[in-house]
Structure 1
Amino acid sequence: MFDDLLQHLGLSAFSLKGFGPLLLEGTWMTIKLSLLSLLVSVMLGLIGASAKLSGSAALRVPAQLYTTLIRGVPDLVLMLLIFYSLQTWLTGLTEALEWDYIEIDPFAAGVITLGFIYGAYFTETFRGAMLAVPRGQLEAATAYGLKRSQRFRYVVFPQMMRYALPGIGNNWMVMLKATALVSIIGLADLVKAAQDAGKSTYQLFYFLVLAALIYLLITSASNIALRWLERRYSAGTREALR
């Protein structure tokens, strides 16, 4: 598969030098990390958006601080701070309880860190989408006697997604590329695999270009999925506007 792609791109002068399985494992690691981080980000985003739109200052203020702090500090700095803070706190806890030393799993740390960082961006995406839902829809749902959870599930969420999808797609693309940062905490993702292969064969540029092409394939597939979601959540609206 890789050799065919390289041949079409004029890069078939080199081979994978036996590092194909390593690159596949790194690619799968990147995909898993991205999807799980997306899940955490979406959950935090929904919670954060609801908090920022809440009438309670006890919920609004922490949510505002969260989004302001995260969006104002570079991802790399946040990743290092969160990762080493988690390890420091865990070490202090185990010492206080006289437990054996516990080292945080890099994959779990990567998911938590990326999810926490991009949860702030999803918070703003969902907040704007929720505000775009006509208030009359909520009033009508309340008049029909729907509970709060039912109003969100049947009225707010389907309409909100139509407005949120462009922002979700943008956040997903940025987060997917940001997974390359997790190599600094020891996770064997695609970038780490490409670096190891390149250093071992003295063809670092070649393997980094290959990693870039793999990222391009993933983002291209993501664009197809996002367009399908946009068509699905826009069903009926285009016809109504004609």
Structure 2
Amino acid sequence: MGLATTMKLAVATLPVGMIIGFLIAFAAMSGIRAVRYVGVGYTTIMRGLPEILTLFVVYNGAGLLLNSLIKWWNPEAEGTDFSPFLAGVIALAMVFGAFAAEVIRGAYNSLDKGQIEAAAAVGMTPQQTFWRIKLPQLWRFALPGIGNLWINMLKDTALVSVIALDDLMRMTKVAVGVTKQPFTFYLVACLIYWVLCVLSEMILSRMERHANRGVRRA
């Protein structure tokens, strides 16, 4: 049960974090100064905050906001608890997105400007240039960094145990409390996280080979 919750949390966080990463990356590269400040400011703030602090702020802050909205809509309504799973997804995605934005921005700056100019010369529209020229190469350059962020985020899911989400780490703590065998269960948890990371590295390695197909090695 705990392992399934951990995997659901990680898989749910990844697409949300990628969307945030792309939006913030392009905001940071925007020609509009105000938008660029928002993008740079977001990455600067989020990368400087501890993940567990972000998790507490989201869990408690979103809960307070939700209950305030409910009270405003219906003063007689009872308060409700904010979902720990949803709080975990939001907090981890915010952190993942901040780091992913820097990876994506670096990958975008590595694109061959000559190919973009050639695409314009043959009459390709900006949309065609993005989908056919920029995005495939952007993905190839960004994939190693995104892969590292995925592995880090997979391990950071252990933090959600502090807000009472029954993930792998929390269930391990429960087992330790019942059996009084901390070494055994924490060692098993370590092995499970290690296996997940090794499997992720194998999948990422295949993805990188696929993304780099046709690229001549020096």
The bucket for the TM-score relative to the shorter chain is over 0.9
The one-letter amino acid paired with 2:94 is F
Match of residue 195, structure 1, among 173, 185, 190: 173
Q: Which residue of 1 aligns with 2:46?
A: 70
Q: TM-score, normalised by structure 1?
A: 0.85
Q: Deviations over 1:156-214 (max 9, x none)?
A: 11111221122111111111110000011111000011111111111122111101100
Aligned-pair distance for 1:63? 0.8
For 1:73-222, what aligned pairs fall within 5 Å after superposition?
73-98=49-74, 99-222=77-200
> Pairwise CA RMSD of aligned residues?
1.3
Query: Secondary structure of the residue that 2:81 maps to in structure 1?
Result: coil
Q: Does 1:45 align with 2:8?
A: no
Q: What is the rounded CA distance, in whole Å, between the counterparts of 1:70 and 1:216 in structure 2?
A: 27
The one-letter amino acid paired with 2:183 is F
Aligned-pair distance for 1:28? 1.1
Q: Which residue of 2 aligns with 1:13?
A: none
> Residues 144 and 86 of structure 1: is their aligned pair in 2 closer, same or farther, counting only changes over 3 Å?
farther
Q: What is the rounded CA distance, in whole Å, between the counterparts of 2:82 and 2:123 in structure 1?
A: 47
Query: Secondary structure of the residue that 1:237 maps to in structure 2?
Result: coil
Unaligned runs of 5+ in 1: 1-24
Query: Secondary structure of the residue that 1:162 maps to in structure 2?
Result: helix
Q: Deviations over 1:14-72 (max 9, x none)?
A: xxxxxxxxxxx111111111111111111111111111111111211111110000111
For 1:18-37, what aligned pairs fall within 5 Å after superposition?
25-37=1-13
Q: How many residues align?
A: 216
Q: What is the rounded CA distance, in whole Å, between the counterparts of 1:143 and 1:36 in structure 2?
A: 41
Q: What is the rounded CA distance, in whole Å, between the counterparts of 1:141 and 1:204 in structure 2?
A: 60
Aligned-pair distance for 1:139? 2.0
Query: Secondary structure of the residue that 2:104 maps to in structure 1?
Result: helix
Q: What is the rounded CA distance, in whole Å, between the counterparts of 2:126 and 2:167 in structure 1?
A: 41
Query: Secondary structure of the residue that 1:172 maps to in structure 2?
Result: helix
> Residues 119 and 129 of structure 2 are in contact (CA less than 8 Å); yes or no, is this contact kept in structure 1?
yes
Q: What is the rounded CA distance, in whole Å, between the counterparts of 1:66 and 1:220 in structure 2?
A: 31
Q: Deviations over 1:96-140 (max 9, x none)?
A: 111442322111111111001110000000000011011122222
Q: What is the rounded CA distance, in whole Å, between the counterparts of 2:119 and 2:80 in structure 1?
A: 50
Aligned-pair distance for 1:82? 1.6
The one-letter amino acid paired with 1:171 is L
Q: Does 1:235 align with 2:200?
A: no
The one-letter amino acid paired with 1:201 is T
> Residues 55 and 87 of structure 2 are in contact (CA less than 8 Å); yes or no, is this contact kept in structure 1?
no
